[in-house]
Structure 1
Amino acid sequence: MYQKFHKGVQLPYDILDIHDIPDGAKEGHFIEIHCGGFGSEISPHPTEKHQFYALTDRGPNTTYDVNGDKGKIFLKPDYTPKIGLFQLNSDGTIGKLKEILLKNPDGEPITGLPNQHFGATKEIAYDQHGKVLEKGTDEFGLDSEGLVALQDGTFWVSDEYGPHIVHFDASGVEIDRINAYEHDERRKSGYLLPLEYANRRQNRGMEGLTITPDQKKLVGIMQSTMSNPDPSVTKSDLVRIVMIDLETKAVSQYLYRQGGGDQVYSCTAIVALNQQQFLVAERDDDFYMDNPQAFKRVYKIDLTDATDLEQIENSDQFEQDEKTGLLIDGLTLEQFVLQRGWQGLQYIGIVPVAKTLVVDLIEKLHYPHDKVEGLWVIDEHHLAVLNDDDYAFSETDGVMQQKYLDKGKKVIDANTLYIIGGIDTGK
């Protein structure tokens, strides 16, 4: 059955009722907005073998920084991020079984609009005509990216705003949340991220989220280095992984070294194999049609010999700072690696997670999409990957355009699931 999905099968989608936006990539055409959008993450159904959940992000949006205010156009400001339940059919198609709208604790649907206080990105929200939205923030709004479907029917979702890690019940109503804001009263159970996570970079928050097989520890990975202590460090290839014990509230932190050299890549998904080993998706932003050497890879990482940053005690060289985390000679980890390199960390005994290549998606599939954001380990030899299609449109230098996968501009990007067989997933 899985062989039918090797070349990719699209998830079903509708066309949003948004018209008359010229396609900057194809003269004389207008953009069609896919909905869809189920490409931010994937999580297997806990009991149904051929079913999976997929997550949308904050909705169809694009950069609008003409006023220098970090502006974003929200084509559908009332869009509600959602979880879809899908099924692999024996005929090689994918069916959507239901949608679960994400809601605040009062049961009201949330939006993808930016937060105003805790986790505020200070983005200004505009409508499609470039007018500032009268209601341009949502304190419960999420730019949802990571998804875990638990055995009890509930969900954990991580996002790029706070970053927040929000617990939803089976109907999508918020139960609790975890973030780095001590005074946020929405943290009902008292879980708290290390406070340095409030220094996440805009649009590069907690992209990946998973849970260990015993359902006791959430594990999240940031997309890129954080602005810790400030944006001067954003060229670093240091990425943080955080583990939260849901029983004890204890937190562990580990370091991941991204590839890319001068070009900083993105870590976009993480999935647990066991208590210590995980798969991580890492990518650049290129399309295969533009760059046959594009970077889309899945790595296996191992925490066994990696340093837990939370266990390092204060000394003449080390200081656990409340706001910026571990300092080495007064430098944040992000600053230290930029100045002294990973060899400098190794010299003082700090070891990142071990990392080995599992599959190169470009080599294996000629993977055509710019993004890979979902991983599903089906069994020992089958791995599913899912792309984010950005609702089938993009923006370049302020011009909106349809998102195509071919130079002839005939194939529009769509959420597509690939199942890769014949590999050792490590499960």
Structure 2
Amino acid sequence: MSGNILGGLGSGLAYAGGDAFLMLPDRGPNATPYDVSVDNATRYYNRFHSFRFQLGPSSTGLPFTVKETLEATTLLWSPTPLTYKGEAPALNAAGRFYFNGRSDQFDAAEGSTNPDNARFDPEGIRVSGDGKSVFVSDEYGPYLYQFDRATGQRLKSFALPSKFAASHLSSKGEAEIAGNDSGRVANKGMEGLAITPDGKTLVGIMQSPLAQDGGTRAPYVRIVTVDIARGATHEYAYGLNNTGTAEKPKYAGISEIVAVNDHQFLVDERDGKGRGAGGEPVFKKLFLIDLKGAADVSDLSGAEALAGKTVTKTVFLDMVAALKAGGVVTDAIPEKIEGVTFGPDVTLNGGVTHTLWIASDNDFLSTIDGKPNPNSIYVFGFSDADLPGYVPQVLAQ
């Protein structure tokens, strides 16, 4: 089949100006048994999709209906060779080497942040201010890459501090976790990505605490800011709310971060319950955080050292409550609400309303146990009073 068919959507969602949006799948189909030696990940071409979402009149009782149009699917590739295990992707050609979802596509002699590894698990996507490129965050490295929006060619790799890298790599997540006492936890790398409204700074957030900070049972996740022009980084600590107890810890996680302005951000923190996973969804919230005046924790290591250094946070949106209030039944609320972006302003009741778009990832499974499991997109309206200080990203048209 074609290498660039529509497949997977909701791991990342980015507004691109006008009625344009970009949607990002993760590393490929892996929710059903395929090959346990590679964490059931298939040999998949990493990609993003370009959509038009046009708002129109609705007969459902909601203010608008949305018509979606797929415009393009763009595969991601490197102009320099990448490390593959076994056969290389069939679409490879001279000067064009495609990134791959499989977990075994790495050089065992190098650490996880080696930019020449072919394995790539994209999770967050944002558009550059000039509209010509996209930034993508990843869980395997973790990586931060810049790609040409039109062609999918990798333009730049951003070097992250060495503390984020895992030294001993494996194609199986459990083995990789057991083999490292520092660096990102396998499959829980840089899950979320924001870009400040001026387009100058990337802000990534890890899904889970680093191994040296306590791993998946610990309460503090790192945020990394990256100056796009200079590459300089700073780190901040985010305190998780959904951690359970010492006797019965919850594997809480972060799915996304989006910029409100140059120092405030919304962070998507959620549980693992809901459509696609089972159980009743309870904890899926967007927290408003502020990096202004927050402690830089770049030189600190360990949960005890990070305690008391976390950024301020308040609940902005309880997504479970809001979706129920909007008529979504509990059984239909997705487990993986992973894509968050601000969208275009709309005219509603004679005034201007800002929009917040939220997308779910269905792990490439359109049905589970015979029940529909679609990718879903929810659009919320808010005012300046709801979110003082909101500054939309400046995007070239």
Judge same fold: TM > 0.5, yes or no.
Answer: yes
Q: 2:21 aligns with which of 52, 55, 68?
A: 52
Q: 1:273 aligns with which of 255, 260, 274?
A: 260
Return the alpha-carbon distance in structure 1 between the equivalents of residues 231 and 280 of structure 2. 45
User: Secondary structure, in 3 states, of the residue corresponding to 2:8?
Assistant: coil
Does the alignment pair 1:287 with 2:274?
yes
Return the alpha-carbon distance in structure 2 between the equivalents of residues 371 and 116 of structure 1. 27
Say whether the 8 Å CA contact 1:216–1:246 is kept in structure 2. yes
Say whether the 8 Å CA contact 2:6–2:73 is kept in structure 1. no
Say whether the 8 Å CA contact 2:224–2:236 is kept in structure 1. yes
Return the alpha-carbon distance in structure 2 between the equivalents of residues 240 and 145 of structure 1. 16
Return the alpha-carbon distance in structure 2 between the equivalents of residues 65 and 44 of structure 1. 34
- Displacement of 1:403 after TM fit? 2.8
Return the alpha-carbon distance in structure 1 between the equivalents of residues 118 and 215 of structure 2. 29
Q: 1:403 aligns with which of 359, 363, 368?
A: 368
Return the alpha-carbon distance in structure 2 between the equivalents of residues 88 and 296 of structure 1. 25
Say whether the 8 Å CA contact 2:360–2:376 is kept in structure 1. yes
Which residue is 1:252 aligned to? 234
Which residue is 2:128 aligned to? 150
TM-score (norm 1): 0.68
Matches within 5 A, 1:122-161: 139-152=117-130, 153-161=132-140
Say whether the 8 Å CA contact 1:63–1:72 is kept in structure 2. no
- Displacement of 1:176 after TM fit? 1.6
User: Secondary structure, in 3 states, of the residue corresponding to 1:373?
Assistant: strand
Does the alignment pair 1:375 with 2:366?
no
Does the alignment pair 1:80 with 2:45?
yes
Change (3 A) 1:214 1:301: same
Residue type matched to 2:334 in 1? H
User: Secondary structure, in 3 states, of the residue corresponding to 2:77?
Assistant: coil
Q: 1:197 aligns with which of 161, 164, 183?
A: 164
User: Secondary structure, in 3 states, of the residue corresponding to 2:145?
Assistant: strand
Say whether the 8 Å CA contact 2:217–2:243 is kept in structure 1. no
Which residue is 1:308 aligned to? 296
Say whether the 8 Å CA contact 2:24–2:123 is kept in structure 1. yes
- Displacement of 1:295 after TM fit? 1.2
Does the alignment pair 1:365 with 2:352?
no
- Displacement of 1:66 after TM fit? 9.3
Per-residue CA distance 1:181-201 (angstroms, 9 max, x = gap): xxxxxxxxxxx2111111100
**Identity, % of aligned pairs?**
33
Return the alpha-carbon distance in structure 2 between the equivalents of residues 148 and 94 of structure 1. 20
Say whether the 8 Å CA contact 2:31–2:364 is kept in structure 1. no
Aligned residues: 316
Return the alpha-carbon distance in structure 1 between the equivalents of residues 358 and 13 of structure 2. 8
Which residue is 2:141 aligned to? 162
Residue type matched to 1:355 in 2? K
Which segments of 5 or more consecutive residues in structure 2 lack a partner in the other structure? Answer: 57-65, 80-94, 166-182, 245-249, 346-352, 391-397
TM-score (norm 2): 0.73
Return the alpha-carbon distance in structure 1 between the equivalents of residues 341 and 148 of structure 2. 22
Structure ranking higher on relative contact order (CA contacts 8 Å, 6+ apart): 1
Residue type matched to 1:386 in 2? A
Does the alignment pair 1:210 with 2:194?
yes
Which residue is 2:180 aligned to? none
Return the alpha-carbon distance in structure 2 between the equivalents of residues 245 and 202 of structure 1. 26
Say whether the 8 Å CA contact 1:81–1:101 is kept in structure 2. yes
RMSD: 2.6
Say whether the 8 Å CA contact 1:377–1:425 is kept in structure 2. no
Per-residue CA distance 1:236-263 (angstroms, 9 max, x = gap): 0110000011223221100001111322
Say whether the 8 Å CA contact 2:46–2:120 is kept in structure 1. yes
Return the alpha-carbon distance in structure 1 between the equivalents of residues 52 and 295 of structure 2. 40
- Displacement of 1:165 after TM fit? 0.8
Return the alpha-carbon distance in structure 1 between the equivalents of residues 111 and 359 of structure 2. 27
- Displacement of 1:65 after TM fit? 10
Change (3 A) 1:253 1:160: same
Return the alpha-carbon distance in structure 2 between the equivalents of residues 425 and 361 of structure 1. 16
Return the alpha-carbon distance in structure 2 between the equivalents of residues 233 and 38 of structure 1. 28
Per-residue CA distance 1:39-90 (angstroms, 9 max, x = gap): 1111111xx32211111111101476997x6x4223x41x211111111124
Return the alpha-carbon distance in structure 1 between the equivalents of residues 49 and 35 of structure 2. 35
Q: 2:311 aligns with which of 350, 353, 356?
A: 353
Say whether the 8 Å CA contact 1:62–1:72 is kept in structure 2. no
- Displacement of 1:116 after TM fit? 1.4
Return the alpha-carbon distance in structure 2 between the equivalents of residues 63 and 196 of structure 1. 32
Residue type matched to 2:292 in 1? T
Change (3 A) 1:104 1:293: closer
Which residue is 1:61 aligned to? 30
Q: 2:220 aligns with which of 217, 234, 238?
A: 238
Q: 1:116 aligns with which of 85, 103, 106?
A: 106
Which segments of 5 or more consecutive residues in structure 1 lack a partner in the other structure? Answer: 1-15, 18-33, 122-137, 179-191, 311-319, 321-325, 327-331, 394-401
